[in-house]
Chains A and B, each alone.
Chain A
Amino acid sequence: MGGVCEGTQGLFWPCLVDLKMEFIDALSGGFSSLSTLPIALALIVGAALGIVVGVLPGVGPGVTIAVLLPFTYGMPPLGGISLLLGVYCAFYGGAVTSILIRTPGEASSIMTMFDGYPLARQGQAQRALSLAFMSAFVGGIASALLLGLVARPMASFAGKFGAAENVMAILLAAVCIGKAYRRQFPAAMMMMGLGFFLATVGIDPNSNEQRYTFGIPGMLSGIPLVPVAVGLFGIAQALVMVSSPVPQFDSSLIQSAGLSWRGFLEPFRYPKAMLKGLFLGSAIGVLPAVGAALSTSLAYFWAQKGAKDPTPFGQGNPEGIVAAECANNSNSGGAMITVLTLGIPGDAITAIIMGVFVVHGIVPGPSLFTDRPEIINGVLASLLIINFVILGLLILTVKPLARLAYVNPKILGLVILVLGFVGSYSAANSMYYVIIAAVFGVFGLVCARGNIPTIPLILGMVMGDTLEASLRQLLGRSDGSLEPFVTRPMSLAMLIAIVVILFWPFFMALGKRFQRSNTSNPS
């Protein structure tokens, strides 16, 4: 794979021009990849579905993507990816319920609620919705552009990775994922380990040995990702929905749903808040497992410093909505960067999207940029187009969309159960898949009840194969020596990062103790 800026002797401007030309080429290639009817349809259907599930109570993008995953099997790879990306990017439709009924569909919409709902109560619901949609649109476009500009250079850098770097990159991602759960770090690592283990079940492709199949014929081909994802995200969520009381909300503001053109232009009056959201959303999106919720809250609190609008935050300040929604929707591009360049998913949703790649025999990573450039370019073009489609659909449908909040979540739970059944069955026309989905659905419910995270399990399953293959390759070449981990600079750097992240609380505690002893003994 050719390096970026080759032939520019490392000069800044020629290199930048080179990057720009590459980006434009990639974009035009991507648009032509998307120009077939099935792919264009998949993109529109995905966006429409994403908007609807963003508003429906209790149904998040994770559930929808997990249930939809089996149906992407029969589609062209880019069609399947576009469908799921549509759902992934369109969940900012959830701002509707955050603003109108003070019920955020997702954790990432909580910050929008803080200022959106007070604005709606002041009779400015249309302004709040317009602010949120336009800010999210800007965030989405910026993240797609970031993906286009950063992914290729990052892939050419990742192309230099050997087995040692691959192992360390995955371990670093695993530790980051665990740390994202703060006090639940051991539980997250436990589930990650379980995911790694489940990825090994079945016939080993190198030695043909049967690993942990318990003599069950279905398990010879391993534990498939699709029914596990359907179970953990679809069935578990459906079980929670059917067994939880129907949430009560004040529906008086639903009638006031709508948009205002002045509100659409308003986010551009707060460039500082917008940039803060864009920066944090994109940067945090790249980090594994640190989802949109953190970036929106950080952007919200950062926007409070030096805010232009004098309205207090929490009482209807438009900058709060702008920063939160920009950060919320600029995550998607960042999360896709690590999937495409390193084959490491940023969150549960990108892990499931990675499943589409795997199902179609496409291996995400640096080689994808040379082997299947139409996929990379298609993803980039998809992300750009999807944001326009979503905005268009939201403008056309916001009034009827808001009424979806009335739908009884128990009915939705039943529908998800039936869809989960047929989705997991149709993945291989096998009842074995349904049994796996049901088992993991119950497991997901038990884990949710016991406050044990399950997203790391899926991430572990997705990364497990690559981790094992790279580890075996490295150990085989070095006759079991672990030296390559410390002799290769990139690998060593990542190892140091892992140690620092793991032992950071101890360093902090030591620092505090040292400081305390210094203040008590000034001499």
Chain B
Amino acid sequence: MSSLQARLAKWSWDRFFLLALSFIAVCVWYFSTQLIQPYPHNANWFESTALFPKLSLLIVAVAGLIEIYQRRHQMAAGESEELDSSAANIQDAISMVVAFALYMLAVPFLGYLISTLLFLSVGCWLLQFDFRTSMLLAITLSVTMWVVFVKVLKVYFGHAWLI
């Protein structure tokens, strides 16, 4: 194993995530000529529509690399009002994301009421609530949401097979 590989093996996942973000920023910066249509090839640099996004991407890439370097040691959480997810179980979160994605897909076909009812039922099951609580919660919430948003506020979810 080369020394680079050995070093990379010690990296925490967040450093890889930062590296991926920086890498994407560099790629988008490099391919800007294709990603801006039509690209202003003849414009002066200061008049180009690519100037600001390229500068922004440069900030992303450079700041990301500096952050990766800073994280060579274990760092403490910053003193900010940001979201604290240290106690979160990532597997539970992933299952909920999958359920939410299915919910998004279901609404145009099954309709808002049925999809919300199903999502809440599945959500309650994933969270291991007992059957009675799950049903009570799912039915009450989905009907309330449907009445408020579809009937009162007239949010239109398109034609679906069901309601």
Cβ B59 vs Cβ A243 within 8 A: no
Cβ B79 vs Cβ A422 within 8 A: no
Secondary structure call for the B interface:
helix
Cβ B45 vs Cβ A429 within 8 A: no
A interface, how many residues as a size bin? Answer: 35 or more
B interface, how many residues as a size bin? Answer: 35 or more
Hey, what's the 0/1 contact readout for B90-112 against A, CB within 8 Å counting as 1? 11110011001101100110001
Which of B17, B35, B49 is in CB contact (< 8 Å) with A204?
A: B49
Q: Which residues of B sit under 8 angstroms from A108, Cβ to Cβ?
A: 81
Cβ A475 vs Cβ B47 within 8 A: yes
Q: Which residues of A sit under 8 angstroms from B35, Cβ to Cβ?
A: 211-212, 214
Give A58 Cβ to nearest chain B Cβ, in Å: 10
Given the interface contacts A186-B70, A422-B155, A471-B52, does A193 sit within 8 Å of B80 by beta carbon?
no
Interface segment, one of A82-90, A307-315, A383-391, A410-418: A410-418
Q: Which residues of B sit under 8 angstroms from A292, Cβ to Cβ?
A: 81
Cβ A455 vs Cβ B80 within 8 A: yes
**Bound: A186/B66 CA distance, A:** 6
Given the interface contacts A410-B127, A445-B93, does A190 sit within 8 Å of B79 by beta carbon?
no
Q: In B1-59, which residues have CB < 8 Å from any A CB?
A: 13-14, 17-18, 21-22, 25, 28, 32, 35-40, 44-47, 49-53, 55-59
Cβ B149 vs Cβ A426 within 8 A: yes
Cβ B90 vs Cβ A243 within 8 A: yes
Cβ B59 vs Cβ A193 within 8 A: yes
Cβ A438 vs Cβ B49 within 8 A: no
Cβ A209 vs Cβ B40 within 8 A: yes
Chain A residue at minimal CB-CB distance from B17? A450
Tell me the A residues contacting B by CB distance below 8 Å: 71, 74, 106-108, 180-184, 186-187, 189-190, 192-194, 196-197, 200, 204, 206-207, 209-214, 235-237, 239-240, 242-245, 291-294, 347, 410-411, 414-415, 417-419, 421-422, 425-426, 429, 431, 434-435, 438, 441-442, 444-446, 448-455, 464, 467-468, 471-472, 475-476, 479-480
10 CB contacts below 8 A, A to B, read A107-B81, A183-B70, A209-B37, A212-B35, A243-B96, A414-B127, A442-B97, A448-B84, A476-B47, A480-B46
